[in-house]
Structure formats: structure tokens, C-alpha cells
Amino acid sequence: MTAAADERARSTSQLTRPQPDAGPVLALDIGGTKLAAGVVRGNGSVLSWLSIPSGIADGPAAVIARQIELGRRAVEVASVSWERIGAVGIACGGPLDPFEGVIQSPPNLPGWDDIPLVSIVQEALDRPAVVENDATAGALAEFWYGAGRSREIRDLVYLTISTGVGGGLVLDGRLHRGAAGNAGELGHLTVDYLGRQCGCGRRGCLEAYASGTSIAARAREALATGGPSSLAALESPTARDVAEAALAGDRLAMRIWDETTAILASAMANVLDIFNPELIVLGGGVTRAGDQLLRPVREAGLAQAMGPARRSADIVLSELGDQLGVVSAAAVAFERLGDRLAGPLAQAVPAGVSNARR
């Protein structure tokens, strides 16, 4: 088997749940605006967490070097000796090849074309490393450590609503990566096939309406043609400004916000009917609006799904907050490299066993 085929077999053949005291691992989270690094134990506890601006304009080599240095500092801050760090998990925006460890031109990382991130990190830090799409990894993090932690569930869908919209799937208790490792691109569900232009090249994707960027763009367009609004006083209103103005009763902002939640709800009904999960978890910057977002999406999303899917599901907000990125990266390190960690090993759990602690 090639190394990639071996990685693929490893990542799909078993479900492993880390022992609480497994690890610790070093977790690296590469985003278009922020880099984060942390040291995380098998129970999901974060021993250190550091974050700096990405400085993405400096190009991949400089950013990766900065990320590696941040990782070293995170280990120092955690007061953990390097010898105890058995593996490195990396969460990064896709598309990427999780089996080969190569970043494939993500829209939020300009110039990262076929960057062999995993081999660069492995060489620099002298530890086995894995990379995963950040939203895919987020699904596993929520399943093990977040909203899924205390529930008897096997199927969880995670949606991150931020600058873009991403998704991840835990199906039948395991992370679903798909044939090329890019399953769960829920931001590109078509919600209107003649609709707004999406960054991916298609029209009418969910991301073209519900991402923070798109909410702000739709507000700007409405201001250009529409009636009076408190947003007109702002130079460049953001999604957060739209949410706040809507809450304060601004009619134009309310229209944009209600349209956003209605489109999200309709997409969530699709997700419920396709995957029939117990849980949809919503995370990302736009969900900081809290109940203002969750309540209408949950109510209308569940109402539109077919009966059996509706009755077995709930829609909730992420419970991992700002540390989701590093916890996600760590979760993937435990999932794929748990059997190589020194000390208490991750425990292999047969397929089909529920997430509930036994």
C-alpha cells in the first residue's frame, strides 16, 4: 500500500475515542486571518492556547514557519516537555488532501497551491502529523468534546458559518471524509440554482447568502437600492452590524437577517433529510448572534424536514467557542495517530458503538 492508501485505511477502518489522559498532542489551527496553537489532552482539555494574526500576504513558507514557532511556544506555555508530545494535528481550510497531507489552493489561503504541509511540519517538529479540513475536524471535535459529548448520538453534522460556510460529517460514529477527503462541503449546497454568484464558481450556494461576507454584501446591495437604515451611517457594515441593527428594529437589517435565517433553515432541512442526524451543530463567527440566529433556524429547519428526520433531531450551537480550532486539530491527531502516542493509548472502539460514555 502507498502511504496515502495506508492513511486512508487507517482513518476509515476504526473508530477511536481517546482515553481522557491520552496525549498530550500539539494542535495547530491555520486560518486566513488567525493562526492558533495549543496543547490538548485526550479528554479535550486545552493546556495552552496561543493565537496570532496569520499575515497571509507573506506567503505559505513564512506563514508555516510562524505557525511552527507558535506551536513550539504553545508547548512551552503548557509546561509540557517536548518528549511527551507524541503527535501533531493540523486543522486548515480546504480543499486539501488529508491522506497525502497536501493543501490544494484554498480560497482563504492565496498561493497555497499543492503545499506539502504535513511533511514540512513533520520535518520541522520531528513528530508524526496529520492535516484535516477545519470544518471536517470541527465535526469530530463537537462529537467527542462539544455539543455531542453528553448525548447518546452516532450522527452529527457540523456547520461553520464564518467568512465562508463549511461543514463536516460524523456518520455512524465515524468521521466521513468521502472518496477524495472533501465530503461535507455544505456551504455549497445549492439554495437557488439561478441565484447569487458563489466564490466556488457556481450560483446560488448557501455560502453566497449565509456567510458573514455574503450577509454584509447583501446589506450593502440593499442599502444601495433600499430605504433608510441605520446601517447607512456605517462605512462598511459587517454581518455583526446587520444582526445588531436587526435586533434594534431596523427594517432593512431585519429583512436581510430574516432572509439569512430562512435560507439557512431551508438548507438545514435538506441536511436533516439527507443524513437524518441526531444533531446539527452550528459554529463560526456569525453564530455569535446566538439565539437571534439559532431560534429561527432551529424552528423553521425542523419544521420543514420530513417527520422522522425532524423527530429524531435537534439543532444547537457549538459549545467549544474560540478554542474549537485547536480542539479540532487535536481530535484529528487522536483519531488518526492515537495508536502511535506514548503513554495511555487511545482506545479502539468497534464500529457502531455509540458516543455515550460507557
Residue 196 to residue 245: CA distance in whole angstroms: 24
The least CB distance from residue 133 to Zn ion, in Å, is 15
Contact region with Zn ion (CB under 5 A), list: 31-39, 56-64, 71-79, 199-207 = 199-207
List of residues 6+ apart from 293 with CB closer than 8 A: 243, 261, 264, 282, 286, 287
Contact region with Zn ion (CB under 5 A), list: 65-73, 83-91, 127-135, 181-189 = 181-189
Residue 335 to residue 76: CA distance in whole angstroms: 24
The least CB distance from residue 181 to Zn ion, in Å, is 18
Given 68, 139, 198, 282, the residue binding Zn ion (CB under 5 A) = 198
The least CB distance from residue 313 to Zn ion, in Å, is 25
Given 205, 222, 239, 337, the residue binding Zn ion (CB under 5 A) = 205
Q: What's the CA angle centered on 207, arms 193 and 44, to 5 degrees?
A: 140
Site for Zn ion contains 188 (CB under 5 A): yes
List of residues 6+ apart from 141 with CB closer than 8 A: 44, 320, 324, 327, 328, 330, 331
Site for Zn ion contains 102 (CB under 5 A): no
Site for Zn ion contains 200 (CB under 5 A): yes
Residue 232 to residue 307: CA distance in whole angstroms: 43
Contact region with Zn ion (CB under 5 A), list: 95-103, 177-185, 191-199, 332-340 = 191-199
Site for Zn ion contains 267 (CB under 5 A): no
Subset of 45-84 contacting Zn ion (CB under 5 A): none
Q: What's the CA angle centered on 17, arms 11 and 19, to 5 degrees?
A: 135
The least CB distance from residue 266 to Zn ion, in Å, is 16
**Dihedral class, residue 249 (left if φ above 0, else alpha if ψ from -120 to 50, else beta):** left
Q: What is the dihedral of CA 323, 99, 278, 266, to 10 degrees?
A: 90
Site for Zn ion contains 186 (CB under 5 A): no
**Which residues bind to Zn ion, rule: CB under 5 A?**
188, 198, 200, 202, 205
